[in-house]
Structure 1
Amino acid sequence: MTRIFRLSVAAAALSCTMATPVLAQDVTVTADELAAMRAQLQAMNARIDQLEGELAAAKAANDAQDATIAAQAETVAAIPVAKEPDSKIAWKGAPVIEGKGGWSFKPRGRLMYDAGFTNAPDSTGRSDGFGNEVRRARLGVEGDIPGGFGYKFELDFAHNEVEAADAYLSYTDGPIEVIVGHQNNFQSLEELTSSLNTTFIERAAFTDAFAFERRIGASVTYKGGDFMAQGGVFTDNFADTETNNRGADARLVYMPKMGKTQLHFGGSVHYNDIAEDGATVRYRQRPLVHFTSERFINTGNIPADSEFGLGLEAAMISGPFHAAAEGYWQKVNLAGAGANPTFFGGYAEVGYYLTKGDTRGYKSGKFDRSKPANPFNKGGMGSLQLNLRYDFLDLNDAGIVGGTQDGLLASLIWKPTDYTLFGVNYGILQYDDAVYALADGDRSYNVDAFGVRAQIDF
């Protein structure tokens, strides 16, 4: 409180004292009463001093608190703000590194080891018995590049050779994907399904017999809703770049869903212009497994100007059950006179998961990775799948006798985790017009084949 306030209080007290005789002249203020009033005034001054001290202390405390808050605010402001990391890492069988602007990088690879045996009639004179091999040993990388571009490069080191598998640059814009480089042609559901996700140790007989393989070229894929169209022009594969082969492939797929059932219907067309004097083609096939070099059906070398192929495919997946079937016709346009032969191959299969909750994978017009509902690493046993297949290949036509192969095949596949697989395969291959005859000249007989596979990928 100010000095003016104190003087005002004192003046008010004196006024009251002096006014008393006016209002009541008969009242007389004694010396004791005046002393008491002075004492009250002094007490009031003391109280005022006390209140001023308390107010000053409160103001000082408030100023100190404001100073502390200001200091804390400066400290917080000085703390650097955590920045978003320039890259992040996820795990999909291997580390996937994603950077700013659309960059990504992922190492990839697979290792498949096969073993088993074949059993042919002794009088054919063909080697059989135990066999084994590293079927595939691949290492590579894949990823994205800003602007919608991508890349994939993979080498296979099996069989004491180094061969390129996928090796291409891609560009994606909405439903359209363009690929330039070494890639699969658009022939057959079975061929386009990765070897990681097939139901048997080897693909259907016609895919190998008709020399389906990756080639260098450019392709376009359009996928919109339930429809997909693919087409491309190609030369030859990395191992045969000196040839004059020029080809074109196209494929159409309709892949609707009916409730929880996935359906697949497709067709493909293939043309290969060999365009080289003295060129030949040869169609032949092993009995189910790859680790044997024996081929009991074989057309031998056929002088040819070109090849024309036509394929049909259908499949369905419903819960643990799946079915698939394909047919493929390969016509050879001979370089010389004579009727042009057309050879045929196809298969029909069914499969069923014996473990609860498992189903076969499917994506973008082909079978995809299946993922166990109860993987081994989470206390489950993984998935167990039983498959049966009838596989047919006919290499007889227009005077060419390459033989026929009828296969009755069964497989049992155990996947402990998403990225590991153990498979057992057995097949009975029945031959007519086989290349090798029995001792009595008969060319119709059976060959047994058994194979197991251990597989890991990332």
Structure 2
Amino acid sequence: MMPDVANTAPVERVSYTSAYMLQDAAAAGNLPAPVASAQGAEEAKEEKVAAKDDKKEEATVPLADYEDLLGRVDEIEESWDKYQDKLKEEADAKKKKSSYKLGGRVHLDNWNFVDSDAGINELETGDPTDDPENRWDFRRIRLELAGDVPNNMLFRIQMDFNNPAQAEMKDVYLGFNNLPNNQTLLIGNQKRPIGLDHLNSSRHNVFAERPLAVETFNEDARRLGACMYGYTDDELFHWRYGAFLLENINTDGRYRGDFNEAGVYGRLSSSPWYDKTSGGRGYMHLAMSGSVNQTDGNGTLDADDNANEARFRTRPLARSDSRWYNTNRILGADNYEQFGLESIVNIGALQITGEYINTWVQRDPLGGFSGDDLHFHGGYIYASYFLTGEHIPYDRVTGTIDRVKPFENFFLVDRCAGGTGRGWGALAMALRYDYIDLSDSDIRGGQGHAVTAGLNWYWTAYSKVQTNLVWGEVNNGGQGLSSVPLATGIDGDYTILGTRFMIDF
């Protein structure tokens, strides 16, 4: 009977040759894990460990070489320490030395007195038939040296050479910074803290000349004194306060007198809204300032050499020879007080700014004047708008406006690859209204209005051209031409066109 092939398991056929080869491989320990025995795998593992130990023994460094290597590492570490000590000594030495930087500015003006009547002619030249002269003037040729002195001192020396025959002191002071409550103390010739437009740098102001009220009630701004500057950690509030001599020493740097007539000044400002998200394109500024002053009431009737008088005057928003609004020295004036308000609202390219300043004068009868107390006041408001979209930055630490940075600079150059490259800079237009009243009782210092249209072309952040067209009037003026009461005042109208080319560094 034949076997059932379908139900029989297949028989694996192995040749003798293959069998012998497998036996040889097993003996050599080369079979894979599933084939090799456990004993063979363990032996292979021990052989690998032994091989690693042999390699370790071969990699062992001789003791002499090891000690030499340690010595070289010690030398490197010692050299590195000496280098670090040298760097520290150099840094400490630098901290013990004063640091400084040189800066300056040049302002070149052209003023054309387009129209003036007999009253304006008399205020300017003293002759109703002699009109004001057109002119080119260097308004400012200013150099300054400023720096730090270890550990927390600073200094600034600023001189103006617009009149080469007689240089003028501007900021000349020393001081201490990093004082408690973010404060700085300055001692020397510096700006009295009243009038926003005066506290702004002339490099950044929107109009060529300062408003009537600001220049009238803080003429030339700087006096010899001591002033503290500070601000809160969040930069919400800023303050300045100090005491100043009243006499202007900008041309001789000296004060002489039997009594130190002086004033106490203060200013508190705030920026209750400042849009950090937009980079300061939106903000609001509010401030108030004031002063109390004791003056030399005897005026020209005494033999004093000083000029600590109560006198308020200004030019007509241009560089005229004479002050057209002028109380002259007020005889009998022993004291005066001031109070001012400031505001700025900036929304993108648009800025609206205004100030108002009051001055109250107490006096006794002297030199033919009545002795009545006096009230003078004035203010301005302006709007500025950038046609090219820039904005006027604001410095929250000082409470003043800052440097405008055009989106592109003005330039016109030949390109290396041919053609011409150009940039247009920034362009802004502005309009300001001024009011001043220096006529009260028997003092006819002049009352007037003025409108100024301005166009500012910013070539770069450090250079620009300002063009101002001014229409104004003076009523009940002329006191500046007389040291006695006037029976009637002088009236006049004027139109002035001015252009300023300016650069700073």
Aligned partner of 1:231 in structure 2 is 241
Tell me which of 365, 376, 386 is aligned to 1:353.
Answer: 386
Aligned partner of 1:263 in structure 2 is 284
Q: Deviations over 1:76-118 (max 9, x none)?
A: 9589969759999xxxxxxxxx943584311111111111211
Aligned partner of 2:147 in structure 1 is 143
Cα contact 2:390–2:405 (8 A) shared by 1: no
Aligned partner of 1:396 in structure 2 is 439
Tell me which of 209, 216, 235 is aligned to 1:209.
Answer: 216
The whole-number CA distance in structure 1 between the counterparts of 2:297 and 2:444 is: 25
Alignment map for 1:284-433 (pairs within 5 Å): 284-290=313-319, 292-303=320-331, 304-336=333-365, 338-363=371-396, 364-376=398-410, 380-433=423-476
Q: Which has the larger radius of gyration?
A: 1
The whole-number CA distance in structure 1 between the counterparts of 2:238 and 2:382 is: 24
Aligned partner of 2:226 in structure 1 is 218
1:122 CA drift (Å)? 4.8
The whole-number CA distance in structure 2 between the counterparts of 1:249 and 1:311 is: 11
Cα contact 1:263–1:315 (8 A) shared by 2: yes
Q: Which amino acid aligns with 1:409?
A: T
1:407 CA drift (Å)? 0.6
Alpha carbons of structure 1 residues 339 and 198: separation in structure 2 relative to 1, 3 Å: same
| 1:128 and 2:132 aligned | yes
Cα contact 1:266–1:312 (8 A) shared by 2: yes
The whole-number CA distance in structure 2 between the counterparts of 1:380 and 1:358 is: 18
Q: Deviations over 1:359-403 (max 9, x none)?
A: 344342111222222223696422212111001111111232222
Cα contact 1:362–1:369 (8 A) shared by 2: no
Alignment map for 1:190-201 (pairs within 5 Å): 190-201=197-208
Between 124-133 and 316-325, the greater mean CA deviation after superposition: 124-133
Partner of 1:255: helix, strand, or coil? strand
The whole-number CA distance in structure 1 between the counterparts of 2:248 and 2:88 is: 42
The whole-number CA distance in structure 1 between the counterparts of 2:97 and 2:287 is: 34
| 1:109 and 2:104 aligned | yes
Alpha carbons of structure 1 residues 139 and 433: separation in structure 2 relative to 1, 3 Å: same
After TM superposition, the score normalised by the length of structure 1 is 0.75
The whole-number CA distance in structure 1 between the counterparts of 2:213 and 2:130 is: 22
Partner of 2:424: helix, strand, or coil? coil
Partner of 1:191: helix, strand, or coil? helix
After TM superposition, the score normalised by the length of structure 2 is 0.68
Unpaired segments ≥5 residues, structure 2? 1-53, 119-127, 301-308, 412-420, 482-487
Between 314-323 and 101-110, the greater mean CA deviation after superposition: 101-110
Cα contact 2:144–2:157 (8 A) shared by 1: yes
The whole-number CA distance in structure 2 between the counterparts of 1:402 and 1:182 is: 28
Between 311-320 and 331-340, the greater mean CA deviation after superposition: 331-340
The whole-number CA distance in structure 1 between the counterparts of 2:206 and 2:168 is: 24
Aligned partner of 2:497 in structure 1 is 450
Partner of 1:339: helix, strand, or coil? coil
Partner of 1:209: helix, strand, or coil? helix
The whole-number CA distance in structure 2 between the counterparts of 1:263 and 1:102 is: 40
The whole-number CA distance in structure 2 between the counterparts of 1:300 and 1:357 is: 43
Tell me which of 249, 255, 260 is aligned to 1:241.
Answer: 255
1:131 CA drift (Å)? 1.0
| 1:281 and 2:317 aligned | no
The whole-number CA distance in structure 2 between the counterparts of 1:147 and 1:373 is: 39
Between 119-128 and 227-236, the greater mean CA deviation after superposition: 119-128
Alpha carbons of structure 1 residues 360 and 102: separation in structure 2 relative to 1, 3 Å: same
Alpha carbons of structure 1 residues 253 and 149: separation in structure 2 relative to 1, 3 Å: same
Q: Which amino acid aligns with 1:108?
A: G
Aligned-residue Cα RMSD (Å) equals: 3.4
Q: Deviations over 1:34-78 (max 9, x none)?
A: xxxxxxxxxxxxxxxxxxxxx9xxx99x99xx99x97xx79x958
Q: How many residue pairs align between the two structures?
A: 386
1:128 CA drift (Å)? 2.0
Aligned partner of 2:266 in structure 1 is 250
The whole-number CA distance in structure 1 between the counterparts of 2:328 and 2:456 is: 35
| 1:177 and 2:184 aligned | yes
The whole-number CA distance in structure 2 between the counterparts of 1:196 and 1:127 is: 31
1:129 CA drift (Å)? 4.0
Unpaired segments ≥5 residues, structure 1? 1-54, 89-97
The whole-number CA distance in structure 2 between the counterparts of 1:379 and 1:104 is: 38
The whole-number CA distance in structure 1 between the counterparts of 2:210 and 2:359 is: 17
1:133 CA drift (Å)? 0.9
Alpha carbons of structure 1 residues 258 and 142: separation in structure 2 relative to 1, 3 Å: closer
Partner of 2:299: helix, strand, or coil? coil
Percent identity over the alignment? 28
